[in-house]
Amino acid sequence: MTRRVVVTGMGALTPLGNSRDAFIEGLNESKVGIDQITHFDAEPTGITVAGEVKDFNATERLERKIAKRMDPFSQYALYTAVEAMEQADFKDGEVDPEQMGVIYGSGIGGLTTIQEQVIKMNTKGPKRVSPLFVTNSITNMAAGNISMYFNAKNTSQAIVTACASANNAIGNAFHHIKNGYADVMITGGAESSINEIGIAGFAALTALSTATDRLRASIPFDKERNGFVMGEGAATLVLEEYEHAKARGAKILAEIVGYGMTSDAFHMTQPDPDGRGAIRAMEMALQEGGLTPADVDYINAHGTSTHANDSAESKAIAKVFADNDHYQVSSTKSMTGHLLGAAGAIEAVATIAALQNDVMPVNVGLQVKDPEVNIPLVTEASRRTKVNAAISNSFGFGGHNAVLAFKR
């Protein structure tokens, strides 16, 4: 018998707010969490805005002695995992530690730690490098810290597929339960790369928006878009085998039904301009979920606000959903910026919220739709409608494509 997989907990830390509810409220109110960079003096980079997490205090959910021994990306991951597990509300004895695992994504990992410790080594000598440098910087420590905190003794893995990392992590966790390897999985993605080297590196690629107006910097599908805006934060989902969740009376938030994963095998940073890998990934997710293209009501697009992505993705969506007369598309990156390896995680939360509330996020800031974008976009007037099935796209440097399919 096929094992079904449901979502029973969610946690979020985003530029729109430091909790799941604050994030969803911000989406529903079409708030823009992008503003002037405050983490450092960004003027020399030529980039002025980002989607920073604001007023973050890890000790609101974590013990100080635990938090201070982590890079911010690990803090973000564990902070949201605590919120998600609180919502899942496991009672003593309701989950076997050996049946609970962690698969977690991050595009870059502990970049803040790497930058700080390289500077320290160059200015004060190699003997001054922190003994926590390695453990704080390696990408797998988000998964490791979550596993240790919750005594999760099944698999513990890190997924690094650039901006597809979180979707790949969630999809792999979904398959881990579906295929009988675990009953509960803690999964998602975290990123903290708004620092000198992170911004300078992406600026050197000419990937970032140079706009100074925070409301016109991240404008997916707009004719005037000129690059993505860096964001930071995390989101965590608790996935659970359906019968396991049902037996303990858990509140089911949504069902994850399909997962598609492909590679463009095309270019280090550019997507296949015809979107062939994206098309296959969307088709795979629908097929596994027992969905036809006509069943889908909402698509949370990767929608980075770069010319190449938005053009290729819209072509791919238009082809897959050519016979669907009611679906709508939006990119929440217009409000949060691009959280790199955490993007798919916060966008999974956004997609599930659309299913729960029958309210789709709007393409905030869109003024002049690019003529190349031949897909129906969510507007303020069209956002409130029944949402029974949805997909969420994530595509990453290196040609990674990952698509998740959800049902209410």
What CA–CA distance (Å, rounded) separates 129 from 127?
6
Q: Which helix (H) or strand (E) holds 124?
A: helix 111-124
What CA–CA distance (Å, rounded) separates 312 from 282?
13
* HSE of 281, CA atoms in CB hemisphere, 13 A: 30
CA-nearest of 151, 142, 225, 147 to 190 is 142
Using left for φ > 0, alpha for ψ between -120 and 50, and beta otherwise, residue 54 falls in beta
Q: Which residue is catalytic, options 176, 244, 338, 400?
A: 338
93 burial (CB, 10 Å; 0-12 / 13-18 / 19+) is exposed
338 counts as catalytic: yes
What CA–CA distance (Å, rounded) separates 190 from 109?
8
163 counts as catalytic: yes
What CA–CA distance (Å, rounded) separates 336 from 343?
9
- Give the 3-state secondary structure of residue 170: helix
175 counts as catalytic: no
Assigned token pair, 291: 């969905």
| Residues in the chain, total | 408
Contact 222, 276 (CB under 8 A): no
Q: Which residue is catalytic, options 176, 244, 302, 400?
A: 302
Alpha helix (H) ranges present in 221-264? Answer: 242-247
Q: Which residue is catalytic, options 39, 163, 176, 307?
A: 163
Catalytic residues: 163, 302, 338
